[in-house]
Amino acid sequence: MLDSLRGSLRDAVGRIVKSQGVDADLIKALKKDVQRALLLSDVDATLTVEITGRLEKRALEETPPPGLSRKNHVVTILYEELSSLLGEEHALPLNPDGATKILLLGIQGSGKTTTCAKLAKLLAGQGRQVGVIGADNYRPGALVQLRTMCEKSKTEVYGNDSGAQSDDIVREGLEHFGASRDIIIIDTAGRHKEEGDLLEEMRRISRVARPDVSLLVVDGTIGQQCHRQAAAFHSTVPVGGIVVTKLDSSGKGGGALAAAAATGARIMFVSSGERVDDLAPFSPTRFVGRMLGMGDIRAVLDLAKKLEGQMDDDRAKRIYRGKMTLMDFLNELVNVQSAGSMKDLLESMPGMAGKMSDQNMARAEENIEKWRYIVQSMTEEEQSRPDILNRSRIMRIARGAGCTARDVKTLLKQFEHTRNIIKSNKGRKMQGLMRRMGMG
């Protein structure tokens, strides 16, 4: 998805990570890299200048919280600014007293029918009873397309292809499903543009359906033109949320998302493929996290918070029982590093005792920086079950973290050793260390 944007943002982050230290030149280069990446992805030029200007100013002026490296801090700022470009996170509002009715609208070919089936599958997967009404009586074959796709989630589709009016079909469909469903999704017809008669039809359907939320489906390949389309719909039909589709098939997806967010619309879902599973709730922070190549960049933010002192009890218990995840391991290393007892920790590792000269310390600390990016390039599942890391996953992680597969393996080996000592309770030094960290 959005390969070119992701590629260039990761390169930019990689440069910071690999740099010796953060200085004004590096920040300027970062600003340029990000500017280029955003413009290529069709983000509006004014928005781009605004965002990257803020990035530069904050990176130059703000002091990192205690314990967080300057590099990581700059990455955090980049993450925050890019996320803010994409607006806030908005969940689908569900009606607590009865079926939630979702009306899909959008111009021809924007992806309404496929979104309808994808959304049905997503919500059914969350254990909800979903019914679908096919109210597109405009395009021949619309109902068959909808039924075929909805079969995959075994979702019932109500339709009527005997020439009925679309608002009548909606009325019949609602009666048909009655109170038997938690969610009813209505697929509607499109037109070439946001023409008057389309909007008029939507108004009519809307009066009958009385939707809890109307979702506007926009084709992401139109890039920043999304702004005009979202604004046009927004001003005529009350749009509760936006679905941006086809993020897989054009480099302009970033522009589409930024433009939709700039109208004040709530982006609720994004679609990045034709298959029925290719729809996901939209979260600016997760989206940007993926773009920047970190499994979940929230971990960096958590880390920043954690470094301000507090110890997470659950984590301590988990570690002590030998159920440590890679993220726990990393956080421990960073905690110990910031407490100045890095050498203790490393000496407690098998094969490391006595080998850590003071000169080597600087290299080890560099390793931690590298390991942090490695761990952050993993999915949550990989972080907690490193045994699933096969060759191709390791290659992917290495690419995401801007290092070699060997670096990843070194980390895994070290992690394995450490976990084993804790588990077997044999590493007395480690226990002493754990006690000092308030966990023994």
Ligand X SMILES: Nc1nc2c(ncn2[C@@H]2O[C@H](COP(=O)(O)OP(=O)(O)OP(=O)(O)O)[C@@H](O)[C@H]2O)c(=O)[nH]1
Residue ranges that bind ligand X, judged by CB under 6 A: 106, 108-114, 136, 139, 142, 190, 245-246, 248-249, 271-274, 278
Nearer to ligand X among residue 253 and residue 427 (C-beta): 253
**CA 245 – CA 148 distance, rounded (Å):** 20
Residue 284 partner contact from Mg ion, ligand X, none using kind-dependent CB cut-offs of 5 to 8 Å: none
- Its sign, for the CA torsion 1, 281, 304, 344, is negative
- Residue 125 parent element (H or E): helix 112-125
Any alpha helices (H) in 161-297, and if so which ranges? 166-177, 196-209, 226-236, 253-262, 284-291
Nearest-5° Cα angle at 188, 187 to 190 = 135
Task: Select the residue interacting with Mg ion from 52, 76, 113, 263 (CB under 5 A).
Answer: 113
Nearer to ligand X among residue 283 and residue 418 (C-beta): 283
Cβ 235 to Mg ion shortest distance, Å: 23
- Residue count of the chain: 440
Q: Interacting stretch for Mg ion, rule CB under 5 A, among 95-103, 106-114, 273-281, 305-313?
A: 106-114
Residue 83: exposure state from Cβ atoms within 10 A (0-12, 13-18, ≥19): buried
Cβ 192 to ligand X shortest distance, Å: 9
Nearer to ligand X among residue 269 and residue 371 (C-beta): 269
115 sits near Mg ion (criterion: CB under 5 A): no
Q: Interacting stretch for Mg ion, rule CB under 5 A, among 107-115, 239-247, 250-258, 396-404?
A: 107-115
Cβ 116 to Mg ion shortest distance, Å: 8
3-class DSSP assignment, residue 267: strand
Nearer to Mg ion among residue 35 and residue 115 (C-beta): 115
Tokens standing for residue 380? 């949550």
Nearer to ligand X among residue 22 and residue 244 (C-beta): 244
Nearer to ligand X among residue 232 and residue 437 (C-beta): 232
Residue located via tokens 């726990």: 328
Tokens standing for residue 233? 């719909």
Q: Interacting stretch for Mg ion, rule CB under 5 A, among 37-45, 111-119, 157-165, 355-363?
A: 111-119
Q: Buried b vs exposed e over 217-253: b needs ≥16 C-beta within 10 Å?
A: bbbbbbbbbbbebbbbbeeebebbbbbbbbbbebebb
Nearer to ligand X among residue 161 and residue 274 (C-beta): 274
- Residue 74 neighbours by CB under 8 Å, 6+ apart: 16, 22, 27, 30, 59
Cβ 187 to ligand X shortest distance, Å: 7
Tokens standing for residue 169? 């079909």
Residue 353: exposure state from Cβ atoms within 10 A (0-12, 13-18, ≥19): exposed
Cβ 104 to ligand X shortest distance, Å: 8
Footprint (CB under 5 A) of Mg ion, residues 201-240: none
- Residue 143 parent element (H or E): helix 142-151
Nearer to ligand X among residue 111 and residue 131 (C-beta): 111
Cβ 189 to Mg ion shortest distance, Å: 7
Residue 246 partner contact from Mg ion, ligand X, none using kind-dependent CB cut-offs of 5 to 8 Å: ligand X
Residue 109 partner contact from Mg ion, ligand X, none using kind-dependent CB cut-offs of 5 to 8 Å: ligand X
Cβ 188 to ligand X shortest distance, Å: 8
Residue 111 partner contact from Mg ion, ligand X, none using kind-dependent CB cut-offs of 5 to 8 Å: ligand X
Cβ 123 to ligand X shortest distance, Å: 17
Nearer to ligand X among residue 139 and residue 406 (C-beta): 139
Residue 278 partner contact from Mg ion, ligand X, none using kind-dependent CB cut-offs of 5 to 8 Å: ligand X
Contact predicate 219/245, CB 8 Å: yes
Residue 153 partner contact from ligand X, Mg ion, none using kind-dependent CB cut-offs of 5 to 8 Å: none
**CA 324 – CA 315 distance, rounded (Å):** 8
Cβ 142 to Mg ion shortest distance, Å: 5
CA distance to 182, 203, 216, 279, per residue, from 128 (Å): 6, 28, 22, 17
Nearer to Mg ion among residue 1 and residue 105 (C-beta): 105
Cβ 287 to Mg ion shortest distance, Å: 26
Residues that bind Mg ion (CB under 5 A): 112-113
